Amino acid sequence: MVKDIGIDLGTANVLIYVTGKGIVLNEPSVVAIDIQTNKVLSVGSEAYKMVGRTPSNIRAIRPLKDGVISDFDVTEQMLTYFINKLSVKGFMSKPKTMICAPTNITNIERKAIIQAAEKAGGGKVYLEEEPKVAAIGAGMNIFQPKGNMVIDLGGGTADIAVISLGDIVASKSIRVAGDVMNTQISSYIRDKYKMVIGEHTAEKIKIQIGTATVDDQEVKEMEVRGRDAIGGMPKSITLTSPEVQEAISDTVTQIIEAAKDVLEVVPPELASDIVDRGIMLTGGGALLKGLDHAISKVLTVPVIISESPLDNVAKGAGALLEHMNKTEKSKD
């Protein structure tokens, strides 16, 4: 049996779903390259450990930026490495591949993603829009004539869509999400404490004490180590959750405004469905504490965090592939 593969090609992580097996791979979208020889040294988790810690001849590259390919060759090498690692390609078989992308990508970006997946997988490649696939993965029935709204927050993009009868009715994709929050945390610490921190540290701060609201909740603290921006010596500070909220508030506002824009253009019947059913929050950004409350407060619509937000896109891609296979079989 040919095992088809669903790929969530994210700016921060790549997840791969194999039909019949579920999610079999979840690794950071990072490739370490020796720039003198152009040789790939490591991919995924191993390469991620090298970010900010490499000698000058080794570069840890993130080949995707804002949900699209910024370095085609490196993306292709990364995908090939991951797919070979799974050994889903049999002697005769060429797996079907379903790959997911943000809603507002250009035709050139679309072609680049398909081409990279074709070269890596060898079989037919289908490209689907991320929020639609995330909604399926989150367990929403998008094929009914009812309005479903999903906010999919990744590393590079926030994708917002209203879906009915299996198709996107209105959508918006903004290139501000988890990675921008990390940058804002770093900038805040540099400006306020004159201390420089790395990408890993900013991500850790967001996960451990990050919050979108500071209403009546306990203040969390975290010791943060970095380098003094003026003297260059090691330095440590104590950072609080309200400070992180202040640092990322601009991004949170932009995400809420984008969701508002989408809600304003949907037909009234679908809007009333959304008021009844709520908005599904998915993607890694859904794990940011208090984000559901912050969105719900402004939009006055209930917001539900999906059960496994990080896996939804990959799961949804797998479910769509299985649905396609069943449809094909019933035609035969």
Q: What is the DSSP code string of 105-132? A: --HHHHHHHHHHHHHHH-S-EEEEEHHH
Annotated binding residue 287: yes
157 annotated as a binding-site residue: yes
* Residue 258 among known ligand-binding residues: no
Domain 141-305 in CATH: superfamily?
ATPase, nucleotide binding domain (3.30.420.40)
11 is in an annotated binding site: yes
Q: Measured between alpha carbons, how far is 158 from 179 in angstroms, rounded to an integer?
A: 11
Per-residue pLDDT of the chain (332 residues), as tens digits, is 567 899 998 999 999 999 888 999 999 999 999 989 989 999 999 999 888 888 888 998 999 888 888 898 899 999 989 988 887 655 456 788 999 988 888 899 889 889 888 888 778 899 999 999 999 999 999 999 999 999 999 999 999 999 999 999 999 999 999 999 999 999 999 999 999 999 899 999 999 999 999 876 789 999 999 999 999 999 999 999 999 999 999 999 999 999 999 999 999 999 999 999 999 999 999 999 999 999 999 999 999 999 999 999 999 999 988 888 787 777 76
Q: Looking up tokens 């070269």, which residue turns up?
A: 119
CATH topology of domain 5-132+312-331: Nucleotidyltransferase; domain 5 (3.30.420)
**Strand arrangement, sheet containing 39-43:** 39-43, 31-34, 58-61
Residue 203 among known ligand-binding residues: yes
295 is in an annotated binding site: no
- For residue 44, say whether it is annotated as part of any ligand binding site: no
Q: What pLDDT was estimated at residue 167?
A: 93
Q: Is 206 known as a binding-site position?
A: yes
Domains 5-132+312-331 and 141-305 share a fold: yes
Q: Which residues of 60-91 are buried (b: 16+ CB within 10 A; e: fewer)?
A: bbbbbebbbbbbeebbbbbbbbbbeeeebbee
The pair phi, psi for residue 226, each rounded to 5°, is -165, -150
Domain ranges of the chain: 5-132+312-331, 141-305
Residue 186: CA atoms inside 13 Å, Cβ hemisphere, count?
Answer: 18
Q: Is 201 annotated as a binding residue?
A: no
User: Is 282 marked as binding a ligand?
Assistant: no
Residues 6 or more apart in contact with residue 8 via CB below 8 angstroms: 14, 15, 16, 17, 100, 313, 314, 317
Helix (H), strand (E) at residue 226: strand 221-228
- The reply to whether 177 sits in an annotated binding site is no
285 is in an annotated binding site: yes
